[in-house]
Amino acid sequence: MRYIIIALFLLTSIAGVRAQQDSTKAVPLKDKLQVADSIATAQDTTKKEETRKERKERERAQKERDKYYYKGIKKDSARLEIEHVSRVAWKRSLMLPGWGQYTNGGLWWVKVPIIYGGLVSGYLVFDYWQWYYKKFLDELAWRVETNGQEAPRDPDLEFYQIPGLVAQKDYARRNRDLTILVTVGFWGLNAIEAYVDSMLKNRWNIGSDMTMKIGPTLMPSYSFSGNSALGGLGVAPGIKLTMNIR
How would you write the pLDDT of the chain (246 residues) with one tens digit per residue?
A: 666 666 666 666 666 656 555 554 444 555 655 655 666 565 555 455 567 777 788 787 777 667 666 666 666 677 777 778 888 999 999 999 999 999 998 889 999 999 999 999 999 999 999 999 999 999 999 988 888 788 888 888 888 999 999 999 999 999 999 999 999 999 999 999 999 998 888 776 555 555 667 778 877 766 555 554 444 556 777 777 776 655
- Domain assignments of the chain as residue spans, ordered by start: 1-72, 76-204, 212-244
- Which of 215, 233, 213 is closest to 223 using CA atoms? 233
Whole-prediction pTM: 0.55
What separation in angstroms does the CA of 4 have from each of 7, 14, 153? Answer: 5, 15, 123
CB 213 within 8 A of CB 242: yes
Residues counted in the chain: 246
Q: 3-state class of 243 per DSSP?
A: strand
| Exposure class string for 213-234: b at 16+ Cβ within 10 A, else e | eeeeeeeeeeeeeeeeeeeeee
Side chain identity, residue 160: Y
Q: Are 97 and 119 in contact (CB under 8 A)?
A: yes
Largest CA distance in the chain: 143
Do the Cβ atoms of 160 and 127 come closer than 8 Å? no
